[in-house]
Amino acid sequence: MGSRSGHFLVAGVGVAMFLTASIPGRAFAQDGETIFNGTCKACHTIGGGRLVGPDLAGVSTRQSEAWLIAFIQHSQTVIASGDSDAVALAAEYPGISMPDWPLSDDQVRGVLAYIQQQESAGPAPVAAGAASLQPGDPVLGRNLFQGTTRFDNGGPACNSCHDVTHEDVIGGGILAKDLTTVFTRLGGPGVRAIVGSPPFPVMQRAFQSRPLTDQEVGALVAFLEQADAEQSLHQPLDYGLGLLVTGLGSAVILLGLYSLIWRRRRRGPVNRAVFDRQVRST
């Protein structure tokens, strides 16, 4: 009895080993597909055009494998090293820099293999659901953002990690970036793709088992678009006026202070008194 189940176990392990060993290429690209969909797709297409980052179709013909592995694992270090291609890329995408990905060399090779596989399959549609979504309701988006309306699946309110400058929103969290100008920085499709399937580990974990509905994503995107548009209207004026008033105010205060000090110094010069005394004594 015991030895029989033991045999089954050995046989099972053997079959599993045979299966994985016989299709290394496919397992590789499959692994790559999982990584691409979970981590890269929110910002990149393969043949679908620019999203948050560049279209990755043909990337293996543009760069060497070594360069790609280094760049995908720690793009900021490569950019900081002064590599001319990396510097040019960073300049072309000023709104966001690619986060570092803790992937092994082989995992990156798997993603690259998947990208090459997809290239030959023809252009893929832009990130999931991007085209099919209705324009969202910015008021619902605002309420979802600050948690006054709960998400259907119970995910945490966005403002537990993010802040946004908007007249109807009380201050939010500082764990993650302020999203006031995210629409300008990443563009509508990019924001939609990121909110719909977050590529950032912390945010990903928060929504993994409690995904947002399409309606919620649409509403949040509409709200972020509105917040961005409103701040670009108000901000320069408020800022300029505030600066002017503060500047004038402090100038007046400083002038008053200076003249006060100056007057006291002229009226009661210590040195003068000492000098007079000395003149008298001689």
**Site residues (vs ligand HEC, CB under 6 A):** 35, 39-40, 42-44, 52-54, 56, 59, 62-63, 68, 71-72, 75, 89-90, 93, 96-99, 101, 111, 156, 158, 160-162, 175-177, 179, 182, 185-186, 191, 194-195, 199-200, 202-203, 206, 212, 220
Q: Which is nearer to ligand HEC, 27 or 103 (CB)?
A: 103
**Whole-Å CA distances, 259 to 196, 253, 271:** 61, 10, 20
- Smallest separation, CB 224 to ligand HEC (Å): 7
Q: Which is nearer to ligand HEC, 52 or 130 (CB)?
A: 52
Radius of gyration of the chain (CA): 30
Contact 179, 163 (CB under 8 A): yes
- Smallest separation, CB 181 to ligand HEC (Å): 8
Q: Which tokens belong to 13?
A: 């392990």
Q: Which single residue is written with the structure tokens 């919620």?
A: 216
- Smallest separation, CB 133 to ligand HEC (Å): 14
- Smallest separation, CB 29 to ligand HEC (Å): 13
Q: What are phi and psi of 189, to 5 degrees?
A: -60, -35
Q: Which is nearer to ligand HEC, 56 or 222 (CB)?
A: 56
Q: Which amino acid is at 195?
A: V
Contact 211, 197 (CB under 8 A): no
Q: Which is nearer to ligand HEC, 65 or 277 (CB)?
A: 65
Q: Which is nearer to ligand HEC, 65 or 238 (CB)?
A: 65
- Smallest separation, CB 136 to ligand HEC (Å): 11
- Smallest separation, CB 75 to ligand HEC (Å): 5
- Smallest separation, CB 249 to ligand HEC (Å): 35
Q: Which is nearer to ligand HEC, 175 or 273 (CB)?
A: 175
Contact 136, 159 (CB under 8 A): no
- Smallest separation, CB 88 to ligand HEC (Å): 9
Q: Which is nearer to ligand HEC, 150 or 264 (CB)?
A: 150
